[in-house]
Amino acid sequence: MNDDVPELIAAIGPRLRALRHGRALTLEALAADTGISVSTLSRLEFGHRRPTLDLLIPLARAHRVALDQLVAAPATGDPRVHLRPRHRDSGSVLVPLTDYPGRVQVFKQVLAPREPRLVTHLGYEWLYVLAGELRLVVGEREFTLHPGEAAEFDTAEPHWFGPAGADAVEILHLFGPHGDQAVVVPT
């Protein structure tokens, strides 16, 4: 057995606990999602139960993370990130740049023209225009953002964003849980 295997196994419990706390889940809610008993989950998190694939696979699915994120698999030597674009019926493309459930999510988006439809939900959004012009509606106010401009707003307020004209707009889009905000440091 490699010298570092006991340390890797010991780190799984705290990592599982941090993921669960980061998503504001109780042991009971996670047990309901995974079919793993509350006592087994608790013993895993505190290192009193050795993690097995039968336990880790449903936990990785429930937390929406890759299995190697739970076990801190050694780097493969390839630093590239392999992104999987999601194409929408509207002609828009969404490219997730992060996959951290319960934390700030980052996307690159190419938004095709579409009709405005105001929505509300819990969270906080930050938009940065890469190319094109972005039309942003927040409540009764409307803005046009150009490349290099950013906007941030609480998503509990009715909002919509998309191209300002007939051409697509390319943006970076950060979405976080309520209370999380992007911090912009002036240069």
pLDDT in tens, 37-49: 999 999 999 999 9
Domain that holds residue 122: 86-176
Last residue of one domain, picked from the residues 43, 71, 99: 71
111 lies in the same domain as 134: yes
Residue 136's domain is classified under what CATH number?
2.60.120.10
Per-residue pLDDT of 84-96, as tens digits, reads 888 887 888 888 8
The answer to whether residues 94 and 50 belong to one domain is no
pLDDT of res. 184 = 52
Contacts of 158 (CB under 8 A, 6+ apart): 118, 119, 120, 137, 138, 139
pLDDT of residue 161: 96
Contact criterion met (CB below 8 Å) for 161 and 127: yes
Asked if 141 and 94 sit in the same domain, the reply is yes
Listed residue (119, 109, 122, 117) closest to 154, CA to CA = 122
Is residue 68 pLDDT above 80, yes or no? no
Q: Which residue has the higher pLDDT, 9 or 168?
A: 168
Are 58 and 109 in a shared domain? no
Q: Average pLDDT over the chain, rounded to whole?
A: 86
Mean per-residue pLDDT, 100-126: 87
- What confidence score (pLDDT) does residue 29 get? 92
Q: Are residues 52 and 14 in the same domain?
A: yes
Question: pLDDT digit string (tens) for 128-137?
Answer: 999 999 999 9
Q: Is residue 163 part of a domain?
A: yes
Which H or E element spans position 32?
helix 27-34
pLDDT score of 13 more than 70: yes
Q: What's the pLDDT score for residue 23?
A: 82
For the record, the structure tokens of 15 come out as 């990592």
What is the reported pLDDT for 9? 86
User: 52 with 91, same domain?
Assistant: no
The pTM score is 0.56
How many residues are there in the chain? 187
Residues 22-29, mean pLDDT to the nearest whole number = 89
Residue 114: which of 84, 134, 131, 99 has the closest Cα? 134
CATH number at residue 67: 1.10.260.40
Do 92 and 162 belong together in one domain? yes
H or E segment to which residue 18 belongs: helix 5-22
